[in-house]
Each structure stands twice: as structure tokens, then as C-alpha cells.
Amino acid sequence: MIDISHIMQKLAQTYDREFTYRGDTIPIEKLFAKDGALPIFVRKAQVLNDFLFSETLSVSFLDDPDSLTGEIVEMRPDQKPFVMIMMLYDVFEEYVVKAEDESSPIALDKS
């Protein structure tokens, strides 16, 4: 099984940017963790995938008060990993490109 979170974490590390959520810095290992910021990226990836391919991603969002966003995301077995990685990467890169200042953190809750 492909570890999507690990792949995305490695891609994110190449940008050397800091991300925040509700004012707190998100460690790189939590950026794409299912109990970290991954739900933020997946929700945006859902919209992109629906726009491009007229279908939703095969994921479930489950309440989890102990997670960063209050929910976790689970990918169902029928979700194609390549599609998920490409959608997540596009969303991630959009955050980086839209950032006004390269030296300031990118706030994931200000999109």
C-alpha cells in the first residue's frame, strides 16, 4: 500500500515553508497526517477532483476531538492513490503559490 502521507510530507519538505492552523505551527510530520492537517487538504482536493473529473474522492471524514481539526480522514480501498497524491499536491502547491510573503508562515485556516 502506498503511504500517501509520507509521500506528501517528503514533497512538502522540499519547499521549506512553515504552516499554521489557528495560530499554531504545524510540524511537518502532522501536515499530511490523517489526524493532522490532512482533512483540510482533502476537502479542497475533493472540490478540485469533482471539478476536473465530475466525481468525488473516495474518503470519509470522521469526528475526532483529539485531532488537529476535530476530524480525521479515512481513504476507502477503492480510492486510487495516484489521483489522491496529484490532487493533494495541487492543493498544497496552490497554498504555497498564493502565499504573499515567502518568509511568513502559510495559514491553512485563512484560505
For residues 53-79, give the mean pLDDT. 96
C-alpha cell at 98: 498564493
| Residue 111, in any domain of the structure | no
> Residue 108 and residue 106: Cα distance in Å, rounded?
6
Which residue, chain included where needed, has cell 485531532? 67
Give the pLDDT of residue 62.
97
> Residue 89 and residue 28: Cα distance in Å, rounded?
15
64 pLDDT exceeds 90? yes
The pTM of the full predicted model, rounded to 2 decimals, is: 0.92
| Residue 71, in any domain of the structure | yes
Domain tally, the chain: 1
Domain that holds residue 63: 4-101
Query: Which of 11-20, 63-72, 81-90, 92-101 has the lowest average pLDDT?
Result: 92-101
Name residue 73's beta-bridge partners.
61
Task: Work out the burial of residue 39: count CB atoms within 10 Å of its CB; fewer than 13 is exposed, 13-18 middle, 19 or more buried.
Answer: buried
| Residue 110, in any domain of the structure | no
Percentage of the residues of the chain whose pLDDT score is greater than 90: 85
